[in-house]
């Protein structure tokens, strides 16, 4: 399967789950990866993979956990170090 370049979107709206699932139904041979993170680091963050309208992978860490904070920092392009003196850089 050919890998397409990512599409990055920043919005004040919620994650586009319904749109992703509809697109996946319309193009059942395409695997869609969605990485999402809200501005409140570590909450409403995760990664899903959808194919043929079905959820085939879900990485949604526990809200507020170190794993959720690390994933959000990675998705948002922020520097983050858990259990260290650095933290999240928001600018």
Contact between 70 and 79 (Cβ < 8 Å) = no
| Residue ranges with strand state E in the chain | 31-37, 45-51, 54-59
Whether 1 has a pLDDT exceeding 60, the answer reads no
Whether 46 has a pLDDT exceeding 90, the answer reads yes
Report the alpha-carbon distance of residue 3 to residue 30 in Å, rounded: 10
Residues 55-73 pLDDT 10s: 999 999 999 999 999 999 9
Whether 85 has a pLDDT exceeding 70, the answer reads no
């Amino acid at each position: 399967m050919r890998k397409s370049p990512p599409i990055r979107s920043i919005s004040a709206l919620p994650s586009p789950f319904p749109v992703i699932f509809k697109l996946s139904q319309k193009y059942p041979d395409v695997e869609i990866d969605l990485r999402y993170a809200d501005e409140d680091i570590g909450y409403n963050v995760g990664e899903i993979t959808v194919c043929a309208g079905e959820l085939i992978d879900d990485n949604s860490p526990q809200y507020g956990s170190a794993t959720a904070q690390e994933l959000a920092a990675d998705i948002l392009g922020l520097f983050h170090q858990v259990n260290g003196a650095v933290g999240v850089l928001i600018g």
